[in-house]
Amino acid sequence: MDPIAEFLRREKERLADLWEQEVRRELPALQHLPRPVLLDHLFELLASLAAWIEGRPDDADVGFQALIEGHALQRLGYGVGLETLMREYGKLRYVVLR
């Protein structure tokens, strides 16, 4: 098992908490969202990243497809624009690397 993939799986709750703090502080368009809505696809994304890192693209694609079909549309439904959506992913990258 890849150590980075294992880290993503093992620390998913902590990463979610840190990410939530980051986006609520830095992205005003997401501050009003309830926690379940804010975290809607985060765990799928982390699991998909772990699968991708391990060289399992078919497993990774399942989660990535959910993001394409659901996450962006859900955010748009709450009035969150594309720029904020992209910054949201950037905040996740920041939290994981930190």
- Number of domains the chain is built from: 1
**Does the structure show a pLDDT above 90 at 68?**
no
pLDDT the model gives residue 52: 95
Considering the chain, what is the average pLDDT of its residues? 91
Round to the nearest angstrom and report the end-to-end CA distance of the chain. Answer: 21
pLDDT the model gives residue 78: 87
pLDDT the model gives residue 41: 87
Structure confidence at residue 87 as a pLDDT band (50, 70, 90): very high
| Amino acid at site 25 | R
Which range of residues forms the domain containing residue 27? 3-97
Query: How far is residue 61's CA from residue 89's CA, in Å, rounded to a whole number?
Result: 17
Encoding tokens for residue 69?
């079909």
Please give the average per-residue pLDDT across 41-50, as a whole number: 92
Residue tagged 């609520």 (tokens): 24
**Does the structure show a pLDDT above 80 at 66?**
no
Query: How far is residue 7's CA from residue 10's CA, in Å, rounded to a whole number?
Result: 5
Encoding tokens for residue 75?
């955010």
